[in-house]
Chain A
Amino acid sequence: MDKVTTYSEAIRDALDEEMSIDNKIILMGEDIGLQGGVFGTSRGLYEKYGASRVMDTPISENSFVGAAIGAALTGLRPVVEIMYIDFITLAMDQIVNQAAKIKYMFGGKAKVPIVIRTQGGGGKGNASHHSQSLEVFFCHIPGLKVVMPSTPYDAKGLLKSSIRDDNAIIFIEHKLLYNITGSIPDSNYTIPLGKADIKKEGEDISVVSISYMVNKALSAAASLEDEGISPEVIDLRSLYPLDIDTIISSVKKTNHLLIVHESCSRAGTGAYILKEVLPDIFDYLDSPPVILGGLDSPIPYSYVLESAIIPSEEKIVNTIKKIMHNLIKNK
């Protein structure tokens, strides 16, 4: 039996199910206890598991992330919440220099099974310190995995896999996704990390995206279908591991590639993805691959300005049309 649940509830359910079967899992973060997290992702868990497993932390990001790493080194499996990804910059030493490297620099004799959950993205007027998309920082660091689900179903299955994984995982949610609903089976399912999902099949162009931008790509694709263009929308679900095969086989079918992401374009997510796939798709492309990312700017407060920075559904539609029309013209 499927049930309809929000993205936020799906996260909570994943935490609850995993905590109920493994008492080495503890949660740490700001306002996650009685409050249940400012986005409700741990609602009810403090009451169910108590303060020793659902730990409110002081506002000391670097040190409580480091403490989670130390706990992971010594037998626990902490899941840490960083309230806004913007605050993760305070914990970069522990994430980049410790969590990502401990296994390697100690010759493989240690592991750091930790999940750092956070949320990012704009669209709500939270301005420059509460709206960023910083995932590419973590893609750059060997030793980390980067997971970014776009639906309640994916969020639950990927979070359960992340918690069971023995590596350090940056699990990035999006603030505009928490209230979306989706259907989730009652069964105890997981989704392997590094498997993309084709959210909409199509014939004409491969649109590769992740997190909330998948929703915009799907809306854009629906309106383009009315105009006779059939985009295939690929939700990567994780940036590392990156499902290169799914992108390649899609482009072999469509012969066009658009990568859409919310983070800044400069040295960005799109450049990273393109570098990974280009040697394998080059001969199959009928047009230059295009990256549509956020403009290279801090996120402004005003609705008008913010909307200009983050790729919109309209911009995706126009970009796809331009790619396809150029092709028609060139023919």
Chain B
Amino acid sequence: MDNNKTTANNKVNKQKSSKEKKDSKSEKIPDNLKLLFLEKMYTIRKFEEKVKELFSLGLIRGSTHVYIGEEAVAVGACSALASDDYIVSTHRGHGHCIAKGAELRPMMAELLGKETGCCKGKGGSMHIADFDKGILGAVGIVGAGLPIAVGAALSSKYLNNGKITISFFGDGASNQGTFHECLNLASIWKLPIIFVCENNCYAITVPASYSTSCTNIADRAPGYNIEGIITDGSDVEKVYIAVKKAVDNVKNGSRTVLIEAKTYRYEGHWIGDPQVYRSKEEIDYWKTKDPINNYKKKLINEKIITENSYTLMTDKVDKLIEDAVEFAKNSKFLSADKALDDIYTSNDFMFRS
């Protein structure tokens, strides 16, 4: 336990690398964007807290992984994208979807398994997608999203449509073959893709210090002739600046980038995880780096918000989430006779009269 704690804290200290300092050199972020960062992060936090509540009530079933603690990564990264750029998400995908613009009502309805859900209740927590928003889907297999993201980038390059793809994955996925294969493919084919590794210190229950041969996932990138950058995943502005710079570089024809965001999930891997693998002290340490509380303080210091305006914002978001929950609760389940729909594009090929 102590080992894990030391490891996780060490990782924080290593965040102050020269690479990071170079990336975070002052770029002027407009006030309205800063406000949006805070609101989006707060929305994700509140959405996930509501998900936990609905899960405990039995309204959400199955495996559900919440994003609490990691909000700055999704918001910083997706804010650097255009609305028609692509993302490919992970099993812990609610935050990515909200950050990329998915609407709360169909998301919540999907989690409750309803026909008004973004996937009609056929996908659930691990398979949320919204193709109109460039969300090519959450993927329930660790590491399986990277090839799909590479393919989206290949498509954008071939069609010359200027779209960028972000591939989100975690430290666990960096030990899958697809991570290595896909960095290689993106590099040799010079694809418009940015790999964003959310290193939250644990792959399910196993610490990255045990499972991963290097301290920084970013250090794996140079072997594929890709630049590896480390950023503070608790600091939304640092993530935004790192990803924005990568987006601009890729659009200008530079090689792709792997950005490792050092982050932490406050909750267990899944709702109900007994978390025998880490200490309360470790969790408490990371909570001192809370991406939302610290950013709120920063914006108050910068006089961009006041306690009062913050409360107005949170009240608004709280109402939107309640509205999404009511919408989901009041929606119907897709009827059982539709269970076999959508397997193929048409059902007219079983030649049985």
Contact = CB atoms under 8 A, between A and B. Distances in A.
Interface of A: 26, 52, 57-58, 60, 62-76, 78, 93-94, 97-98, 102-111, 142-143, 145, 165-167, 192-195, 241-246
A63 B154 CA distance: 12
Contacts of A98: 139, 141, 144, 148
A104 B155 CA distance: 22
Contacts of B349: 192-194, 241
B181 A104 contact: no
A97 B156 CA distance: 24
A94 B193 CA distance: 19
Nearest to A277: B352
Contact of A66 (B148, B342, B344, B352): B148
B247 to A, nearest CB: 18
B353 interface: yes
B351 A65 contact: no
A194 B146 CA distance: 33
Nearest to A142: B343
B184 interface: yes
Contact of A110 (B121, B131, B182, B350): B131
Given A60-B184, A106-B123, A111-B345, A244 B351 contact: yes
11 contacts: A57-B185, A58-B181, A60-B181, A63-B178, A63-B181, A63-B182, A65-B147, A66-B144, A103-B342, A106-B137, A246-B351
Interface in B315-345: 341-345
Contact of B147 (A69, A76, A111, A244): A69
B151 interface: yes
Given A76-B158, A244-B352, A166 B136 contact: no
B88 interface: yes
Contacts of A71: 151-152, 154-155, 158
B97 interface: no
A161 to B, nearest CB: 11
Contacts of B151: 66-74, 78
B119 A106 contact: yes
Contacts of B140: 97
Contacts of B158: 26, 52, 71, 76
A67 B86 contact: no
Given A60-B184, A107-B118, A73 B148 contact: yes
Contacts of A70: 88, 136, 147-155
B122 interface: yes
Given A63-B182, A73-B152, A194-B349, A107 B144 contact: no
B120 interface: yes
A68 B131 CA distance: 17
Q: 7 shortest A-B CB distances, which residue pairs?
A: A70-B151, A66-B147, A108-B342, A107-B119, A63-B181, A107-B120, A67-B151
B346 to A, nearest CB: 8
Contacts of A78: 151
B350 A194 contact: yes
B265 interface: no
Contacts of A167: 344-345
B21 to A, nearest CB: 33
B129 interface: yes
A245 B136 contact: no
A116 B127 CA distance: 24
